């Protein structure tokens, strides 16, 4: 059991990270919260919501893909924000990433983003 102060310190450390490093930390953490029960799988994910001024009630949602560290030879891809987008060829989920090559956070397939 952690205290509020423990979680505040952890949050301060996470906030100090650039987004591509934060995503890498979440890649290591969130899969631990996957639940499989009665033929259903529930996966905890990161997502972005892009809200347009002229249609604020209809945001564009995209799940954050995990950078393909094999493709980047252990790296995380460019530190440029989550501006690359694409659709997973296997499960058709819309994904976003800082990287051009990533893994779908739902099914794990490799995704090419532009």
Q: Which residues of this chain interact with Zn ion, rule CB under 5 A? A: 88, 90-91, 93, 104, 106-107, 109
Q: Please say which residue, 24 or 66, places its beta carbon nearer to Zn ion.
A: 66
CA distances for 5 relative to 44, 68, 86, 87, 105, angstroms? 24, 34, 39, 39, 30
Distance CA 17, CA 3 (A): 22
CB of 91 to Zn ion, least distance (A): 3
CB-wise, 21 or 48, nearer to Zn ion?
Answer: 48
Nearest approach, Cβ of residue 66 and Zn ion (Å): 11
Classified as helix, coil or strand, 27 is helix
CB of 104 to Zn ion, least distance (A): 3
């Amino acid at each position: 059991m952690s205290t509020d102060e423990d979680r505040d310190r952890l949050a301060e450390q996470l906030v100090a990270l650039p987004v591509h490093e934060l995503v890498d930390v979440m890649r290591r953490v969130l899969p631990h919260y996957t639940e499989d029960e009665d033929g259903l799988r529930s996966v905890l994910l990161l997502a972005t919501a892009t809200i347009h001024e002229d249609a604020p009630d209809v945001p564009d949602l995209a799940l954050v893909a995990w950078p393909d560290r094999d493709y980047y030879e252990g790296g995380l891809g460019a530190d440029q924000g989550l501006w690359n987008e694409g659709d997973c060829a296997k499960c058709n989920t819309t994904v976003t990433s800082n990287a051009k090559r990533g893994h779908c956070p739902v099914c794990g397939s490799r995704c090419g983003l532009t």
